[in-house]
Amino acid sequence: MGIQERILEILVNNKPGVLARVAGVFGRLGYNIESLCVAETISPEISRITSITNADSDFIEKVKKQLSRLVDVIEVTELLPGQSAQREMILIGISLDQKNRQEVLQTVGMFDCKIISMRNNYCIIQVAGSREDVGTVISFLGPLGVDKIARTGVLALQQAKE
Amino acid sequence: METTGADILIHTLEEEGVDVIFGYPGANSLPIHDSLIKSPIRHYLVRHEQAAAHAADGYARATGKVGVCLATSGPGATNLVTGIATAYMDSTPLIVLTGQVTTGLLGSDAFQETDIIGITMPITKHSYLISDPCDIASTVKEAFYIARSGRPGPVLIDLPRDVMAASCEYSDAKEVPSRVKPRSEGKKDAEQLKKIAAYLNRAERPVLLIGGGVKLAQACDGLSELIEKGRIPFVSTMMGIGSVCASNGFNLGFIGTHGNELANRIVHDSDFILTIGARFSDRSTSIVEEFAPLATIAQIDIDSSSIGKVVKTDISLVGDIREALAKLTPLVEEKERREWLGRIEREKKAQGQDTSRDECGPAGVFIKDVQAAMPEETTVVTDVGLNQIWTVRSWETKTPRGMITPGGLGTMGFGLPAAIGVQMGVPDHTVVVFSGDGGFFMNIQELATVSCYRIPIKIVVFNNGHLGMIRQIQDLFYGARFCDIDLGGKVDLVAVARGFGIEADRVAVGDAAAGIEKMAAAKGPFLLEVMVDPDNYVYPIIPPGRSNIDMMGGRQG
């Protein structure tokens, strides 16, 4: 397979320095981590890292093996297209004025977003959902004068087999 | 029992069977040295921390035990980096102990502070920063386990001074925690072994490719059995040399950039290659696309990330080599292989007559003379460059730990300090180290260590006044545009050695008998400076960007 988006789920021991080692494997191979989510799982000693990188299948095989040999990496799985449920949350900061106010509020309503903060006409909008929906909201609001975006990056969990 | 963190550290090292540490103290490692005084563990003071790492590495390679080195924080720790990387590349089990600033000062750019864990992350198998003295025993035990298990490698333990000085109620460490996971066997392995055996039995032109992993797995006897039973010719990478005695009839030599032609040609023409414990480094494969174009390739290695990393592997088995060979050999049939072995014999004879293409020149002859003058139980150590290739090609390595060379990283300056570690590890062996003048200068200060402890190593320095290997490359591939390789020829190495209190002599490479005899008879350390013509190169050599069969022969000057 050629270069495409690859999602890796990496289970690691929750210890200082583990993330640095994992990131180092990607960096050393010259690849960029496009998205990264990491937090404790239901066991506090174990964390789940969900990472996205753009690469071909040779690279992914290499990176999986090199991650697996790290002492604190428990398991590495590539989440293939269609195998996982994926979500993302973003916070969008946008200043409201006469020109954009109505459209922004309409968009918020249309896509079921939440305004979680409003001060001095600067509102922060929370958008959570599938990656496609999040992307659509960004494309709607973008031209309306978005000031900042903070993204969690893609979260994914493997679905059960049929 | 109330003890300090440092006491617990030393006690755990003793329990792990450590009897030697190579190190250099500093303010932030003093509590450790203070505890070391009371211990039976012997500390050898080097003159540069890089040498401590190389010595620990040499010790580990010579004995199969885990080597231990100790440095202080900041510059002491950073001076270890090249030595750690050398051990990492050749998979040597090493424990690297570094002092560190007190925990409260971490991250504040304190005096002699560096983030050594961050710096060495890509070149260590694992590392620890200890923040609680009560964690020391279990951490050190786990560190040793990691260093020596699976594919061995260096593990660094960073030890803040206050943690070393703090007290802790000591209790014996528990079993190594299960998070360090051993690999589980699978049914798949049995299938792979059957496939490999089938190929070995059916192949017309099979070859075994032996890497450093066989020695690390202590699988040399099993390998010999496989070779004898299947009558399979074998080649080695540089790190695999010695796995089987060099004089074994099925030995074709070593492959790659500086290997011998026969080995490279046979691999090129083979139809099945079983690679054992080798990682297909670019030094052995040259142009990957042109490597062994006719062969089905099988690979057995303990590290799955080495499989298929460089060369496409058709059959692979991830696991312990010794166990794999024990299961494989019974499945392999005894075969005469008259045609294949007959052809190889003919090529061997033909090559033997054509000395212009396979030469290390007068230096090679000299090395053979040195070996003849030394006892059977001799370990040879090399530095890097022409001296390394001459030695690897000319010295007949009879035992797995008989030749020690930094193949993976190619670290100049490795030889002298590593030889110190080797001699400490095998005190009843004769230890000979071959260096070039270039590499010798890099850790020349260790002559003081040698002299101080009267370490009876035999130090041979080939002096051609230049960085010889680079000179050869510039001569052949850069249109003889020599630059930045002239070492000046003003240094009298014999006077230098005598200045360090070491007996020394100088000979010309072609007239060395008296010097060799003196060196062989010396009871203490001895340095022999061997004057060599800068045009004494090593042949054959593969030009950069060419494949393993495009070897270039040449005349010796």
In sequence order, what DSSP letters do the residues of B411-429 get, joined into one string?
Answer: -TT-HHHHHHHHHHH-TTS
> What distance in Å separates residue A86's CA from the closest CA in chain B?
29
pLDDT in tens, B492-546: 999 999 999 999 999 999 999 999 999 999 999 999 999 999 999 988 888 888 8
Count of other CB atoms within 10 angstroms of residue B353: 6
> What distance in Å separates residue A14's CA from the closest CA in chain B?
12
Residues of chain A with Cβ-Cβ distance to B121 below 8 Å are: 17, 20-21, 24
Domain identity same for B222 and B280: yes
Using the Cβ of B121 and the Cβ atoms of chain A, whether some distance falls under 8 Å is answered with yes
Q: Is residue B552 included in any domain, yes or no?
A: no
B308, pLDDT greater than 60: yes
pLDDT at res. B547: 82
pLDDT at res. B540: 81
Closest-CA residue of A relative to B131 is A16
Residue with tokens 């290659």, as numbered in its chain: B273
Number of folded domains that form chain B: 3
Residue with tokens 């007239």, as numbered in its chain: B511
With beta carbons less than 8 A apart as the criterion, state whether A110 and A160 touch.
Answer: no
Using the Cβ of B117 and the Cβ atoms of chain A, whether some distance falls under 8 Å is answered with yes
Which sign does the torsion angle of CA B403, B409, B411, B417 carry? negative
* DSSP label of B197: H
Q: What kind and span of H or E run contains B208?
A: strand B206-210
Phi, psi of B421 (to 5 degrees): -65, -40
How many Cβ contacts (< 8 angstroms) between chains A and B? 37
Closest-CA residue of A relative to B311 is A58
Range of the domain at B144: 2-169
Q: Is residue B368 included in any domain, yes or no?
A: yes
Residues of chain B with Cβ-Cβ distance to A71 below 8 Å are: 125-126, 146, 179-180
Average pLDDT for residues B487-496, to the nearest whole number?
A: 94
Which sign does the torsion angle of CA B68, B73, B74, B76 carry? negative
Q: Is residue B554 included in any domain, yes or no?
A: no
Domain identity same for B526 and B453: yes
pLDDT in tens, B120-139: 999 999 999 999 999 999 99
With beta carbons less than 8 A apart as the criterion, state whether A128 and A158 touch.
Answer: no
B363, pLDDT greater than 50: yes
pLDDT at res. B186: 65
In the predicted model, what is the mean pLDDT of chain A? Answer: 93
Beta partners for A8? Answer: A51, A78
- Give the lowest-confidence range in B229-238, B302-311, B409-418: B302-311
CATH number at residue B31: 3.40.50.970
Domain identity same for B344 and B376: no
Q: Is residue B194 included in any domain, yes or no?
A: yes
Average pLDDT for residues A27-54, to the nearest whole number?
A: 93
pLDDT at res. B329: 95
pLDDT in tens, B183-234: 555 678 889 999 999 999 999 999 999 999 999 999 999 999 999 999 999 9
Distance between start and end Cα atoms, chain A: 25
Domain identity same for B389 and B437: yes
Domain identity same for B343 and B365: no
The pLDDT confidence band at residue A1, using thresholds 50, 70 and 90, is low
Domain end, chosen from B290, B325, B354, is at B354
> What distance in Å separates residue A152's CA from the closest CA in chain B?
26
pLDDT at res. B163: 97
> What distance in Å separates residue A119's CA from the closest CA in chain B?
37
Mutate: best of B117, B179, B316, B318, partner A, most A CBs <10 A: B179
Residues of chain B with Cβ-Cβ distance to A13 below 8 Å are: 179
Count of other CB atoms within 10 angstroms of residue A114: 11
Strands (E) in chain A, as ranges, are 4-13, 35-40, 46-55, 73-79, 84-95, 114-119, 122-129, 146-151, 155-158
Measure the CA–CA gap between B357 and B354, rounded to whole angstroms. 6
| Domains delineated in chain A | 4-81 (3.30.70.260), 85-158 (3.30.70.1150)
Domain end, chosen from B354, B375, B400, is at B354
With beta carbons less than 8 A apart as the criterion, state whether B383 and B412 touch.
Answer: yes
Closest-CA residue of B relative to A59 is B309
Domain identity same for B223 and B105: no
Residues of chain B with Cβ-Cβ distance to A28 below 8 Å are: 122
B20, pLDDT greater than 90: yes
Closest-CA residue of B relative to A13 is B179
Contact (CB<8Å) A68/B305: yes
Domain end, chosen from B354, B372, B392, is at B354
Residue with tokens 């992914």, as numbered in its chain: A60
Average pLDDT for residues B418-428, to the nearest whole number?
A: 98
A75, pLDDT greater than 50: yes
pLDDT at res. A81: 83
Using the Cβ of B127 and the Cβ atoms of chain A, whether some distance falls under 8 Å is answered with yes
Domain identity same for B130 and B248: no
pLDDT at res. B351: 75
Contact (CB<8Å) A69/B146: no
Domain identity same for B237 and B332: yes
Contact (CB<8Å) A28/B125: no
In the predicted model, what is the mean pLDDT of chain B? Answer: 93
CA nearest neighbour of B70 among B110, B113, B13: B13
With beta carbons less than 8 A apart as the criterion, state whether B113 and B105 touch.
Answer: yes
pLDDT at res. B554: 62
B181, pLDDT greater than 70: no
With beta carbons less than 8 A apart as the criterion, state whether B467 and B485 touch.
Answer: yes
Report the share of chain B in percent with pLDDT over 70: 95
Domain identity same for B70 and B146: yes
Closest-CA residue of A relative to B117 is A17
Domain identity same for B146 and B8: yes
For residue B489, give both structure tokens. Answer: 């020829």
Contact (CB<8Å) A17/B180: no
B1, pLDDT greater than 90: no
Q: Is residue B246 included in any domain, yes or no?
A: yes
Domain identity same for B128 and B250: no
With beta carbons less than 8 A apart as the criterion, state whether A13 and A72 touch.
Answer: yes
| The model's pTM | 0.94
Q: Is residue B291 included in any domain, yes or no?
A: yes
A158 vs B179, residue with greater confidence: A158
Residues 6+ apart with CB under 8 A from B162: B102, B103, B104
A130, pLDDT greater than 80: yes
Q: Is residue B524 included in any domain, yes or no?
A: yes
Q: Is residue B378 included in any domain, yes or no?
A: yes
pLDDT in tens, B366-402: 999 999 999 999 999 999 999 999 999 999 999 999 9
Domain identity same for B335 and B375: no
B557, pLDDT greater than 50: no
pLDDT in tens, B34-80: 999 999 999 999 999 999 999 999 999 999 999 999 999 999 999 99
**Helices A18-28 + A57-68 axis angle, to 10:** 150
pLDDT in tens, B322-357: 999 999 999 999 989 999 999 999 988 887 766 555
